[in-house]
Amino acid sequence: MLKQNTETMSTKSIFLACLATCLISTEIVAQNAPTVVTDTRFARGATMAFGRIKSAVGNGGVSISKRGFCLSENPEPTIDDIISTKQLSNSGAIYYFENLKPATMYYMRAYATNKNGETGYGDVIKFSTIPMGEITYWYNNGGDDAANKRINDAATNACNIFSNLTCIKKHFSIGYSEGTPTADCYYADEPWMNMGKNSSYQRTGTIMHEMQHGLGVIPYSTQWAGSIMREGSGTGHWLGDRVSEFLNFWDNTTGSQLNGDTQHMWPYGINGASEDDGSLKTYYANAMIGQALGEDGLEHRSNTFADPYYSFNQEDDVKYYFKNESTERGLYDSYLIPTSTGLLKWRKMTSAEAQANDSTAWYITFTPENQYYQIRNAATGQYLTYNNGIKTMERSTLTDNDNFHLMRGRVDVGSGKAPKRGYWIIHPTGDWSPKSLQANTNGNTGQANFNLANTATNQRWLILTADEMEETEQGFMAQLKNEVNDLLAKVKPLANVPHYENIEGADEAFAKVIADAEQTIAESTIPGDFTSLYNDVRQSVIEFLGSVTATMKSKPFDLTFFIQSPRMTQTNGWNGNMPVLNYSAGEFYEKTFDFNQTITNLASGSYDFCVQGFQRPGKSADVYKAFQAGTDNITAYIYAGSVSQKLVNICVDAQPKKLGGTEVAVATNLYIPNNMQASSYYFKKGLYENKLPVQLKTKGSLKLGLRCSKSDSNYWTIFDNFRLYYYGRPVKGDLNGDGKVNVADIYVIAQFIAGNNSEYTITDCDVNDDGEVTEADIAAVAAIIAGE
């Protein structure tokens, strides 16, 4: 018995030892598998998908023998699923899949396998292929046999590439035309393309280039020619994110933008035979840019809306919460919620309150076949639907009215490490004016015609998970505190400007608002408190300024902080035509423009609107000759309200020695700037100052900016450093600004009439408002002193 028990124990020990060895071996395998990082950027079409490997590192001294991508319809693809090691070379390797199912949700990730057969995986990318495109053509076969073959082969190839990489449906008619030097095509729902006899242009790249014209890359009628999605009416960048995201991925870079003129685009525009390298890299990029343009908002057809796509990365079982992007419609403190009748409201509540109320929670699903989303309320089970407005309704079977196009905005909301983007929630209608869910005043919502502009914040909605709600709320708290602190830092010095009170107690009231604001910053934890606080401080500035007057013309109230983006490092807040920015300056070259913004809720009184800037009205040498002759031909104006004056001539501040950058001599030892960098050096020296006095007779708004209605060859306008100064509400007849009307004011006018005082203007000294300064104005002041 003892011997038998000993043998039994020995067998058990051997088993346990083997098991331990296997576990140790498994641990070693896990440790030695390659470490792989998937590049989060990717591209996809209808039947193809593309990815990059950010890094793949062999561990334990075991080298990598194979790398690529694996793909599946299941959330965790492995090398037992679909794999691809096919590559294109473009600033590194681009891996790609072919023959995928259109309109299908996929998951893919990078992998690497070492020589021992151990595989490591990167993070998973979830994406949807788009519906299959249908680009077709008819050709009249009007050339000789060789030309016809070249054109048919090129057209067939172009149609296949577009159909597999886009969801666009369009038919092209092609005609052979010996009189056409290269090729041409116009924009229409069924466009016509002419192919000339030059064999260099009878290629795939030329056909694709011309097809892009038929898809909206044209000088008129579409967003390509507009100011919302492409800067400028001539050459300018496309402003859509989808195109930039694609280019960043394809070229393995950051900060990319598609550039173009009225009917060309680059890179990958294939603008001529010299740009047709015959590579898949170029052809695929051209087609996918066409798709991305449509997703950004370019009209591929006159009767269809922007291309829908998987824009919001959702999970079916996750609760999401909606808040409007407008700061005035609940961005900081409100969430979307349905009423008992299905109407939609935005209601004030904290993130904790929202999470405790399932009526504010929504489930989101996606249908790959049509690329639309469905949105269901977590509490009621009702779906968001369009029925004479956007509301919630019971649904046993979903209809087209329950499909919504989620179109991502182009402007970051919030700050910090992870700013958010809002989404338009659009009811697709097959035209360019579908209805979009809009936040209205007083907590209400409504439908409105879709507005593609960045300024349409009340039509865009943040879509947040519970964790993102809390993170976003904390981010808003920090952002709002910073904004109020920044405002206070600019506001508090106003109290130190030499002034007198037109209304007794103005200083004390202003000081109390500032003290209360500082206390709120120290104590409050509710974002909504800071929204009202910012507005309260801003309003207190207006009330204070409306109650005081500066006593020294050389020390006005500096209200530059009322101007959004006063330095030309960015153009946030400005409207109209956008300038090219560089070296902290904005420029318009050979372009007409109106660059402006409106400052609201200003106190009445006297202002100076200032900017550094100049216009060069032609070639440098010609401009200087005209300037010397007393003519300058300036066509650019600084304006505020109805008041305007010419921008200074570039020759006004010509310098006796060079300041830096590229400059040009207009006379012996006399230089002017000749590029943006040189201009920035002149501006830093305080040169090219423009000051426009303006009177605001009543409290209200003031539109200010620069404009030019005529810009001929070589006309160049450049500017920076906008400022706004306020002098207060002058007492009638108080010309020397001491707050009283006395003999000193008579002296001011007398000196002005005698031409001995240039500090004052006719506006200052024309006391009786007859348009000139005469003895009558002295009499008017004397009458005031005498109490008459």
Interval 505-550: pLDDT, tens = 999 999 999 999 999 888 887 777 777 788 889 889 989 998 888 8
**pLDDT at res. 1:** 34
**Structure tokens given for 306:** 């922007």
Tell me the two tokens of residue 233. Answer: 């009416």
**Pairing verdict, β 105-114 and 64-72:** antiparallel
Backbone angles phi, psi at 724, to 5 degrees: -135, 125
- Report the CATH number at residue 110: 2.60.40.10
Rounded to whole angstroms, the Cα distance separating 540 from 296 reads 42
Note the Cα 576 to chain centre separation in Å: 15
- 277 belongs to a structural domain: yes
Residues 45 and 79 in one domain: yes
pTM score, whole prediction? 0.75
Give the count of domains, the chain: 7
Residue 258 is assigned to a structural domain of this protein: yes
Residues 143 and 7 in one domain: no
At 146, which CATH number? 3.40.390
Last residue of a domain, one of 495, 516, 549: 549
Query: Does 390 share its domain with 441?
Result: yes
Cβ neighbors of 718 (< 8 A, separation 6 or more) are 585, 586, 587, 588, 613, 614, 673, 676, 679
H helix or E strand, kind and range, residue 423 = strand 420-427
Other beta carbons within 10 angstroms of residue 528's beta carbon come to 17
Q: Are residue 407 and residue 496 in the same domain, yes or no?
A: no
For residues 60 and 37, the model is more confident at 37
Domain for residue 309, yes or no?
Answer: no
Q: How far is CA 723 from CA 352, 421, 515, 720, in A?
A: 43, 31, 27, 10
Each residue's pLDDT tens digit, 748-788: 888 888 887 656 777 678 887 787 888 888 888 888 777 65
pLDDT at 22: 44
Residue 529 lies in domain: 476-549
- Residue 771 CB neighbour total at 10 angstroms: 7
Distances (CA, A) of 311 to 131, 308, 368: 15, 8, 12
Q: What is the pLDDT of residues 349-375, one digit of tens each?
A: 989 999 999 999 999 999 999 999 999
pLDDT at 664 over 60: yes
Q: What's the angle, vertex CA 574, arms to CA 571 and CA 575, rounded to 5? A: 125
423 and 567 part of one domain: no
Is 341 in the same domain as 421?
Answer: yes
Cβ atoms within 10 A of the Cβ of 609, count? Answer: 24
Q: Residue 631 corresponds to which tokens in the numbers above?
A: 């003519």
Spell out where 489-622 has E strands: 499-501, 548-550, 557-558, 575-576, 580-582, 585-589, 593-602, 605-617
426 located within any domain:
yes
> Mean per-residue pLDDT for 125-135?
98
Cis before residue 730, ω within 30 degrees of 0?
A: no
- CA 421 to chain centroid: 10
Selected residue with higher pLDDT from 339 and 477: 339
Q: Both 1 and 27 in a single domain? A: yes
Tokens 């009225």 found at = 262
501 burial (CB, 10 Å; 0-12 / 13-18 / 19+) is middle
Domain annotation covers residue 312:
no
Tell whether 738 is covered by a domain.
Answer: no
Q: What DSSP line would sit under 613-625, residue for residue? A: EEEEES-HHHHHH
Q: Take residue 474 and report the two structure tokens written for it.
A: 């904390």
In this structure, the answer to whether residues 356 and 400 fall within a common structural domain is yes
How far, in Å, are 83, 522, 569 from residue 244 at the CA level?
28, 42, 20
The answer to whether residue 734 sits within a structural domain is no
Note whether 251 and 330 are same-domain residues: no
Of 422, 437, 464, which marks where a domain is finished?
464
pLDDT (0 to 100) of residue 650:
96
**Nearest CA-CA partner of 609 in 536, 702, 546, 492:** 702
Are 160 and 48 in contact by the 8 Å Cβ rule? The answer is no
Contacts of 550 (CB under 8 A, 6+ apart): 497, 498, 499, 556, 557, 726, 727, 728, 737
CATH, residue 645:
2.60.120.260
Is the residue at 751 inside a domain? Answer: yes
524 and 651 part of one domain? no
Is the same domain home to 53 and 159? no
For residue 748, the model assigns a pLDDT of: 86
Comparing 198-207, 481-490, 708-717, the range with the smallest average pLDDT is 481-490
Tell whether 621 and 494 lie within a shared domain. Answer: no
Q: How many other C-beta atoms can be found within 10 angstroms of the C-beta atom of residue 225?
A: 16
